Amino acid sequence: MKNQIEFSVYGRRALFTDPVTKVGGEKFSYPVPTYEALKGICESIYWKPTIIWYVDSVRIMKRIRNESVSIKNLNYGGGNDLSIYSYLSGVDYHVRAHFEWNMNREDLAKDRNENKHYFQAVRALERGGRRDIFLGTRKCQAYVVPCSFEDGKGDYDQTGSVTFGLMFHGFDYADETGTNGLDVRFWTPMMTDGIIDYIRPEMCQIRKHIYSYHRATSLLTWRLKNELDGGARQNL
């Protein structure tokens, strides 16, 4: 597919925080990367408001290992607290993702050139991305290189299926869904022979509405609307 990229992302540590563990000030990582985290990596490689990245699959190349680190967090009222963050250690993932048009941005319809965005994304990937790459949090710096999804030997090849229970999938942002609000999605992933196939955002059955807000209207759309409204009033 001309809108699909494959790459390896690796780093010393990763922290895909389970939101349940954040209540007490400490953080514990999910055992595998979340859809939203990998989507963010794709956007750090290459992003334009014309496109939306969709993560298809991830391949876990190295064995899942945890590393606990003591963190001294500053208190707003002075002093500090001692917390324990549980990171994933020595991670390497093969990722397959593709982009689709953001149909809520009609003002960018003329920019929907598949070849243009595909080759720009490939060039950006070859250079290690356009922005800093990190795995779940800024403290976990990572690196990306092009690769074939099937290349290499993974530690979980031919190990059967493993489930991870209910996990955070991602956020529904207003500029991508066309709604006036922010929702959060959850799902129950399954890893088969080291590969997790992500479902599309609209297929997630478990959702929670966070809050409502009005989407920002682009200047071009606002001007066109005003011109049409003005013309309609003049014809009355």
DSSP 68-112: EEEEEEEPTTSSEEEEEEEEEEEEEEEEEEEEEE-TT-GGGGGG-
For residue 208, report the phi and psi dihedrals to the nearest 5 degrees.
Answer: -140, 130
| Calpha distance 117→112 (Å, rounded) | 8
Class of domain 4-234 as given by CATH: alpha beta
Q: What pLDDT is attached to residue 179?
A: 84
Instruction: Tell me the pTM.
Output: 0.87
Q: What pLDDT digit, counting tens, does each position of 110-151 carry?
A: 999 999 999 999 999 999 999 999 999 999 999 999 999 999
| Calpha distance 182→211 (Å, rounded) | 6
Q: What pLDDT is attached to residue 93?
A: 99
Helix axes 35-45, 114-126, angle to 10 degrees: 90
Q: Is the pLDDT of residue 169 over 50?
A: yes
